[in-house]
Amino acid sequence: MEMAACRGVWVFAEQTHRKLMSVSIEMLGCGRKIADKLNTDLTALLLGHNVRDLADQLVAHGADNVYLAESELLTFYHSEAYATIIGELAKKHRPEVFLLGSTSTGRDLAPRVAAKLCTGLTADCVSLDVDERGQLLQVVPAFGGNVMATVLCPRHRPQMATVRPGVMKTPTIVEGRHGEVVEIPVDLKQEDFNIKILDVVTEEPRAAPIDTAGVVVAGGWGVGNIDDWRLIEELARSMGAAVGATRPAVDEKWASEDQLIGQSGKTVRPRLYVGVAISGAMQHLVGVQDSKVIVAINKDPNAPIFKAADFGIVADFRDVVAALADEVRKLK
């Protein structure tokens, strides 16, 4: 797209079962700041069926405009229909920035739209800002996780980025804010597409939620096997904590995807985080850095996590974790 002609910040307002996802509200807060710095409008894209009443919430949380596309076809996320509508809107209105929550929907939709527009997309950003030239600064962990990278999209528009839920703060509601709702006519039919959504089924999560827990005990690759993973769960139980995990621990199936902490998982902000047998790759640390107190237990004295911890214990966790659980129980 011709760069100079591109103006405006867009946020995809994801809804499911006619409820807005919390990450979409978080993206509005982030998008509002970026739009103000660029001295431009913030537009929310709302697609669904009978979702008009959600537009007020989008305006109250910072949107200047809401593009509202309603059709029965859009009741649930339909990759072809959503990408077609958003791609055409973007070609017509030419936004300079387009932000989406990195949910199962956002991760599926954003690349399809980016390819339609032949533009760049940075996934799972941990911070977003604007430089003095008005370029979007997209920060992600890089190269195995020891450093952070600032990514730019210098010659293509829109600059697209996704952010995981919980990374950005929820903006406060401004009562009495005014915004314009623009209805986007939808003349697409199911017959136009190659995929069809038959049903959406909800299943209960397996583990205690880590993103709302006051105390989180997390384990990493160094735990070594599923039997020793029980020690992590035992320590968590003694502390009334939720159990978190790094990507390698989830890949080993010691823990579920729900328990993943970090860039591509959840961001946690407990009062106490205990990282056990975790070396401390940046991809994990970005998800725990807002914890009030960080404790690290690792047998390698040079593990990077010790530099990010308030208290460190250099030991084989198998020696310490049971003793620690015993001492915690004595406190009660």
Partner 1 sequence: MDKHALEEALRIKERFGGIVTAISMAPLTATDSLREAIAIGADDAVLLSDRSFVGADTLATSYVLAAAIKKLGKFDLIFCGNQSLDSGTGQVVPEIAEFLGVPHVTYARKIALLDGGIARVERALEHGYMLIEARMPLVLSVVKEINVPRHVSLMRISGAMQAEVRVWTSGDLDVDGGRIGLLGSPTQVADLFLPAIKRRGEMLSGAPDRVSKLLLQRLRELAVI
Does 43 sit near partner 1 (CB under 8 A)?
no
Side-chain-side CA neighbours of 291 within 13 Å: the count stands at: 34
315 binds partner 1 (CB under 8 A): yes
Binding status of residue 148 toward partner 1 by CB under 8 A: yes
Residue with tokens 């979409």: 24
The span of 24-32, 67-75, 104-112, 222-230 binding partner 1 (CB under 8 A) equals 104-112
For the CB of residue 328, give the shortest distance to partner 1 in the complex, in Å: 7
Residue 120: both structure tokens together = 């760049």
Interacting span for partner 1 (CB under 8 A) from 24-32, 34-42, 67-75, 118-126: 118-126
Identified binder of partner 1 from the candidate list 175, 178, 198, 225, rule CB under 8 A: 198
Number of residues interacting with partner 1: please give it, by CB under 8 A.
87
Among 28, 59, 110, 163, binds partner 1 (CB under 8 A): 110
- In the bound state with partner 1, the residue whose beta carbon lies nearer, of 186 and 197, is 197
Closer residue to partner 1, CB minimum distance, 10 or 62:
10
First to last CA, the chain: 63
> Could you tell me which residues come within 8 angstroms of residue 155 by beta carbon, excluding any fewer than 6 positions away?
3
SS3 sequence of 286-309 = CCCCCCCEEEEEECCCCCHHHHHC
* 47 scored as a contact of partner 1 (CB under 8 A): no
Interacting residues with partner 1 between 200 and 259 (CB under 8 A): 200-205, 215, 239, 247, 251, 253, 258
Strand, coil or helix: what is 263? coil
Q: How far is CA 96 from CA 72, 119, 314, in A?
A: 30, 11, 48
